[in-house]
Amino acid sequence: MISAFEYVTVLISIVVGLGITEILTGIADLIKKNSKIRLYWPHLLWVLFVLLLLVQEWWVTYELKTFEPWRLPTFLFIMLYPTNLFVLARLLFPNILRRKKIDLKKFYYENYRKIFLLLVISAILSVTYNLLILDLRFVDQLLQILLIGVFVTTIIGKFSNEKLHKALPIVVLLIFCLSIIIEWNVWLIQ
């Protein structure tokens, strides 16, 4: 007989796996159709970031091993984050098979507001999850709240300054990597 944790994490893992599949399939399509595609490196950094978020989600799901009791509303809330990441992974890539030429820079600037909106939703879900499920304090999540502010400002202001869009994924990835390095002991599975 499987535990409640094993039972509910199967579906979480499936959704996370589908998101990772979307990212890896998108990357493979870019490689396969490389003669038809004009790459844009900031877009590729967002692809990497979402891939890392999906892997991180799978990794931190193990923290739920001691969570009890499991109820459907709690499970549905927990499923919102990986589901949002899956949709985000899906939106990161144009439908390559239907187009003759793809300009990822043009695609990015046409879609960055949708991508950032889903990143904002992910961050809000993450903060809420940390507060309600992991009992973290609001103060411990100031970085995520700052990122929410930056993304919301960029969405509302419709900022399409290329320097901003080149700097933002670099800063976000650096912060992500630094948080893993600084809090290395948090990422242990025992």
DSSP structure string for 82-121: HHHHHHHHHHTS--GGG-S-EEHHHHHHHHHHHHHHHHHH
Output the pLDDT for position 136.
84
Query: Does position 1 have pLDDT exceeding 70, yes or no?
Result: yes
Output the pLDDT for position 20.
98
Q: Which two tokens stand for residue 151?
A: 């993304």
Average pLDDT of the chain is 90
Query: Does position 190 have pLDDT exceeding 70, yes or no?
Result: no
Q: Are strands 102-103 and 37-38 parallel, antiparallel or unpaired?
A: parallel
Q: Which two tokens stand for residue 37?
A: 């595609």
The rounded percent of the chain whose pLDDT value lies above 90 is: 57
**Which has the higher per-residue pLDDT, 184 or 150?**
150
Output the pLDDT for position 41.
97
Output the pLDDT for position 99.
64
pLDDT tens, position by position, 45-72: 999 999 999 999 999 898 888 888 889 9
Output the pLDDT for position 56.
93
Contacts of 77 (CB under 8 A, 6+ apart): 128, 129, 132
What long-range pairs does 103-110 form, CB within 8 A, spacing at least 24?
A: 103/37, 103/38, 103/40, 104/37, 104/38, 104/39, 104/40, 104/43, 104/44, 105/38, 105/40, 105/43, 107/40, 107/43, 108/40, 108/42, 108/43, 108/46, 108/165, 109/160, 109/165
Paired strand residues for 103: 38
Please report, as a single letter, which amino acid is at residue 98: R
What's the CA angle centered on 121, arms 160 and 51, to 5 degrees?
80
Query: Does position 182 have pLDDT exceeding 90, yes or no?
Result: no
Please report, as a single letter, which amino acid is at residue 110: E
Output the pLDDT for position 67.
85
pLDDT tens, position by position, 58-111: 998 988 888 888 899 999 999 999 999 999 999 999 986 566 788 999 999 999
Output the pLDDT for position 85.
98
